[in-house]
Structure formats: C-alpha cells, structure tokens
Structure 1
Amino acid sequence: MRLISTLSDVPPPSARLRYGAAATAVAAAAVTGAWAVDADSAWYRALRKPNWQPPSWAFGAVWTPLYAAIAYATGHALGRTGDVGRRRRLVQSLAVNLALNAGWNWLFFALRSPAAGLAGTLLLDVSNADLLRRTARVDRSATLMLAPYAAWCCFATALNASIVRRNR
C-alpha cells in the first residue's frame, strides 16, 4: 500500500463527480447565456451582418455538441492528474471560460452592444487558449476535444468583428 505523501498527490475525484460537475457547470453556462439571446428581436434583425453568417438554426446545432465536448473533455482531464493544484487551476480556468461564454450573450444581446460583445469574445478566445494549455498539460485527447470549441469561438469573434464594422 502506497501512502500519499503530499496534498499535491491525491487521487482524482470519482468519474461520476468529475463528469457530473463539468456537465452541470456547462449546462448552467448554456442556460444563463441563452436567457439573454433574442435573435428574433427587431434590434438584432436590423443589424447589418456579413453574407457568410450561418443561419440562426445553425448556432444551436453547433453549440449543442460543443457544450457536450466541453463537459466531457474537462471531466476527462480532471481525472488524468493527481496534482490537486493542477486540478484546481483547471477548474478555475473552466469557470472563467464558462462565465465569459455565457457573458457574451449578455453583452451582445441584452446590452445590445456588438462592440461590448466583441470585447467579450476576444477575452473568451484568450480564455480558450488558457483552457487548451491547461488540458494539454494533463491529457492531449481532452485538448483535441476542446479544439473545435476554440475554433468556433474564433469564428464567432470574426463574425462579431464584422458586425461591429458594418454597424458603426
């Protein structure tokens, strides 16, 4: 029997706890963000948008598997390290990321500010880089699962920037 010598070497939480907590956090962010969205509002419809913007239905079709991937990848990564500090920093990175993710909807739609939304999505891109970096330290497969999310957010940043330029 091996004794745990330090707090930095503690077995990860159970799979049920890891995946359950990650799924709960992701679902909370998705619901919180969705409350702010009104893509049918006169304000949003009046915005000039680029011709390469996907149709409204595509956003839900893309976000659903992305949210599932975020929950699975982070739950998976949390089980790949016994280092409590590394797990804590990964959880903190995820929390910041999900807050920025949900926050974009409030900045763009609720405040009706594409410029504030652009600032928020730029911060989200930085947060995605941090989340990818932290997951890469513990599990490359989790990083690969998060890559489409980061790529979609970069696309959203370009789309948001185009909307800002077209509506000055």
Structure 2
Amino acid sequence: MNTAPFRPLMWALVLSYATAGIGGALTELGPWYYTLRQPGWKPPDAAFGVIWTTIFTLCAISGWLAWRAAAAPALRRRVGLLFGANAGLNIVWSALYFKLQRPDWALIEVVFLWLSIAALIVGLWRLSRLASALLLPYLAWVTVAAFLNLATVQLNGPFAGR
C-alpha cells in the first residue's frame, strides 16, 4: 500500500495537535480561573476539550485538502503561512488569557484570531471549497469564545495580570 499521499495528512495532524498541545499547556485552570465570574450561558469546562479536539482535527483535514489542491509551490507557501499565522494567534490567545491572566488583552487579540480564520476560509476557497467549509465550525466557535471572553472581561475587569 502506498502511504505517500497520506504523509501530508499525518504532518497536518501532528502540527495541528502540537498547536493544541501548546495552547493546552498554557491553559491553567487553577485558582485564578475558578474565581472568575462566568456568564450563565458558558458551556461546562469539560465541553471545551471535545470542542477544541474536533476543531483541530477539522483544521488538519482542511490543511491537508488545501495542500493537496495547491499544485504550485507559491500556493503551498500561502496555505502554510495562513495556517501558521492562525496557529500562532491561537497560542498567543491562550498565553494572554491563562498564563498572563489578562482576558482584557486576549479580547483584543481574539479579533486577530477571528480574522485569521476568516482569511483561511477565504484564502482556501479557490483551492478547495471543502477545506474552507471545514473551518466554519472553528469560526463559529471562536465567535462564541470571543463573546465569552467579552463577558468575562465585563464581569471581572479590570485585570492587573500576574
């Protein structure tokens, strides 16, 4: 069996889960987090792992599909840059919110994270509509997360950080 066509999928999964792992390592659900007032509509903490695992899996599949559809090296670089920028912004949000304990700064940064997802969806559309569509749950979830972030800031601010 020729596994070569699936090597990019394996790399996409590794990179996607590495991003998730770094973000997860920065996510400290300790005393500071548990003292935050949360809106009544916040999903239970246990749901976040399932949601993010699903999203990172869809991102990996999306990246793989886009990579396969990008015949030219310049197009593959664009796919890599779009996903790389998004991964970086995803990690920075976790660092700001949890590690630095600055939901107010994370609220500013989440705008850029959201825009990077929109850029991915638009940027991949001509390469693979399926790759773009697989990112819609990510955009929807980050929209919800941004409103949750806003509510947290409103209920708990101002923040001084560590």
TM over 0.5: yes
CA distance in 1, matches of 2:53, 2:20: 9
State the 1:17 CA deviation.
Answer: 3.1
1:33 has 2:55 as partner: no
Pairwise mapping of residues 1-150 of structure 1 onto structure 2 (< 5 A)?
15-39=5-29, 41-150=30-139
State the 1:62 CA deviation.
Answer: 0.7
Q: Unaligned 5+ residue runs, structure 2? A: 158-162
8 Å CA contact 1:37, 1:106 repeated in 2: yes
Q: Which amino acid aligns with 1:21?
A: W
Total equivalences in the alignment: 154
CA distance in 2, matches of 1:102, 1:19: 21
Please give the per-residue CA displacement for 1:78-130, whole angstroms capped at 9, x wherever unaligned: 10121221211111010010111122111100000101111221110010011
8 Å CA contact 1:18, 1:76 repeated in 2: no
CA distance in 2, matches of 1:15, 1:159: 40
Q: Which amino acid aligns with 1:25?
A: L
CA distance in 1, matches of 2:9, 2:123: 17
State the 1:15 CA deviation.
Answer: 2.6
Larger Rg: 1
CA distance in 2, matches of 1:166, 1:137: 42
Instruction: Detail structure 1 runs of 4+ shifted over 6 Å in the superposition.
Output: none
Give aligned-pair identity as a percent: 31
Q: Which amino acid aligns with 1:65?
A: T
Give the TM-score normalised by the residue count of structure 1: 0.87
In structure 2, the partner of 1:6 is none
Q: Unaligned 5+ residue runs, structure 1? A: 1-13
Q: CA RMSD, aligned part only?
A: 1.1
